[in-house]
Amino acid sequence: MTTSTSSDLDVIIVGGGPAGLCAAMYAGRGMLKAVLLERGITGGELLNTEKIEDYPGFLTILGPELAEAMTKHAVHFGADIRQEEVEGIHRNPDGTFRVTTSSGTEYTAPTVILTAGGTPTKLGVPGEIEYAGRGVSYCAVCDGAFFKGERIAVIGGGDAAVEEADYLTRYASKVYIIHRREEFRASRVVQERAFANPKIEVIWNTKVLEMAGDVQGLKHLELEDTATGSRSQLPVTGAFVFIGFKPNSGLVKEHLAHDAGGYIVTDDRMMTSVPGLFAAGDLRVQLTRQVTTAVGDATTAAIAVEKYLTERKTQRA
């Protein structure tokens, strides 16, 4: 087993999306000895996003292009990016952290910045993966503007689904909410807002069987009535799936403060309830989850790590 000791590293960054890459760039600028661990290609959800039009400095840019630019920027400042699948983050008795990986390599450092994000729950129906980024989306704020004047569907029945359906009516001409039951799980005030919106139509007791289209993108949904079993087609060019999101907070093998959904609670320095463990990006409790908020979190976290390490050295002197 290969081990990088705490004397080798100042900080371990777990996750290579926008937050992780930004943290690595700032760690390099701060002359910290850092390593970024990412199981696949760096970029995170940017790799699944076709166009981005809400990142300052770019009127429009492809998600993979922005991911590549962020990676090059981080590497320019000395980022050490390693392809590793992290299995656990453990706190040692001396307050340092041990990060275990599937390769058997362990990394140790006095601080960790967790930027592992999370995963939108998929429907798991045919066509969902094929049309991701070409009609199928998991983020209304990110992609809503691409559907101006079009007919779209939102799948789900919780607060996120109903709230985002209401939000999407500022762009779409018609928004269908498809829910497999006969009542929403969303809060009453959210439901009332949706029911009062003339652009929203609810399709109850219905599940999506397939997402179908052509080379241009999504064209319609294959539906099934959960009560009668009858099938139908719904012509839409967009489908927004909001049936859940699982933050990757389970990597931390010690109790830390989180909300009911598993999102990590931090202070204004992005420090979690575990000293030396910082969190940034989509797995943190916050109002919205965007590329801009992810890099903002990471900026704060990386600078806070510098200050934490200085304070730690002073206390140990």
- With cut-offs at 50, 70 and 90, classify the pLDDT of residue 3: low
- With cut-offs at 50, 70 and 90, classify the pLDDT of residue 49: confident
How confident is the model over 267-271, as a mean pLDDT?
Answer: 97
pLDDT of residue 295: 97
How confident is the model over 43-59, as a mean pLDDT?
Answer: 84
Q: Where are the domains of the chain?
A: 3-120+245-316, 136-241
pLDDT of residue 160: 86
**225: annotated active-site residue:** no
Listed range (47-56, 165-174, 239-248, 279-288) with the worst mean pLDDT: 47-56
The catalytic residue among 10, 142, 282, 297 is: 142
- With cut-offs at 50, 70 and 90, classify the pLDDT of residue 47: confident
- With cut-offs at 50, 70 and 90, classify the pLDDT of residue 283: very high
The catalytic residue among 22, 54, 94, 143 is: 143
Residue 236 clears pLDDT 50, i.e. is over it: yes
Q: What is the 3-state secondary structure (H, E, C) of the chain?
A: CCEECCCCCCEEEECCCHHHHHHHHHHHHCCCCEEEEECCCCCHHHHHCCEECCCCCCCCEEHHHHHHHHHHHHHHCCCCEEECCEEEEEECCCCCEEEEECCCCEEEECEEEECCCEEECCCCCCCCCCCECCCEECCHHHHHHHHCCCEEEEECCCHHHHHHHHHHCCCCCEEEEECCCCCCCCCHHHHHHHHCCCCEEEECCEEEEEEEEECCEEEEEEEEECCCCCEEEEECCEEEECCCEEECHHHECCCCCECCCCCECCCCCCECCCCCEEECCCCECCCCCCHHHHHHHHHHHHHHHHHHHHHHHHHHC
| Segment 132-172, tens digit of pLDDT | 989 999 988 888 999 999 999 999 999 889 999 999 999 99
How confident is the model over 16-37, as a mean pLDDT?
Answer: 97
Confidence (pTM)? 0.76
The catalytic residue among 10, 22, 139, 297 is: 139
Domains 3-120+245-316 and 136-241 share a fold: yes
Domain at 136-241, CATH class: alpha beta
**142: annotated active-site residue:** yes
What number does CATH give the domain 3-120+245-316? 3.50.50.60
- With cut-offs at 50, 70 and 90, classify the pLDDT of residue 88: very high
Q: How high does pLDDT run on average in the chain?
A: 93
How confident is the model over 3-14, as a mean pLDDT?
Answer: 75
pLDDT of residue 314: 87
How confident is the model over 291-310, as a mean pLDDT?
Answer: 96
* Radius of gyration of the chain measured on its C-alpha atoms: 21
| Segment 221-230, tens digit of pLDDT | 999 999 999 9
Tokens of 212: 């179908």
| Segment 163-201, tens digit of pLDDT | 999 999 999 999 999 999 999 998 899 999 999 999 999
pLDDT of residue 2: 55
pLDDT of residue 5: 44
pLDDT of residue 176: 98
| Segment 244-266, tens digit of pLDDT | 888 888 899 989 999 988 899 99
